[in-house]
Amino acid sequence: MKCLALSDDLMFGSQIVQVGRQAGCELTQADSLSAWSEQLRQQPGIRCCVVDLNTRGLELPALVAAVAEILPVNEVRWLAIGPHVHRDKLAAAHQMGWHVMTRGQFHAEGATLLRTWRDTKSPTTLADGTSLANP
């Protein structure tokens, strides 16, 4: 699964990439919204967006709008990561329907989540066609 991470934190951004690789994902990183948009255009097939909520100047609606210009937003899985003390940012991402993790949760469970997403065709269907939807 191809993923694109947005983080302007050199250390944490490299940790995101490492977790993605552990999960068997092809994960690249952008450090600004303009670089993010450019990478989306240059890399067809992005299916997962990982967003560091501490990225300077980040506005979630603007980010989603930038993605929507390039690919169908509902075909992308969204993961927001932030420090546990930034409850408002985490809550805002959750309200947008994103999967939300604190940094600690991401380090502990991020590879498992990304691996699960990698092995599913859509949020409700496994790669073999098995439905995960509630009956």
Please give the average pLDDT of every successive group of 10 residues along the chain, which has 135 residues. 95 96 96 91 91 93 84 86 93 92 96 94 54 40
pTM of the model: 0.85
Q: Would strands 99-102 and 2-6 be described as parallel, antiparallel, or unpaired? A: unpaired
For residue 75, CA distances in Å to 63, 71, 124, 131, 135 come to 15, 8, 11, 16, 22
- Give me the pLDDT at residue 132, please: 44
13-38: per-residue pLDDT in tens? 999 999 999 999 999 999 998 898 89
Q: Give the percent of the chain with pLDDT over 90.
A: 63
Residue 96: predicted pLDDT: 87
Q: What is the pLDDT of residue 128?
A: 53
The whole-number pLDDT of residue 126 equals 46
Q: How far apart are CA 63 and CA 76, in angstroms?
A: 13
CATH code assigned to 2-126:
3.40.50.2300
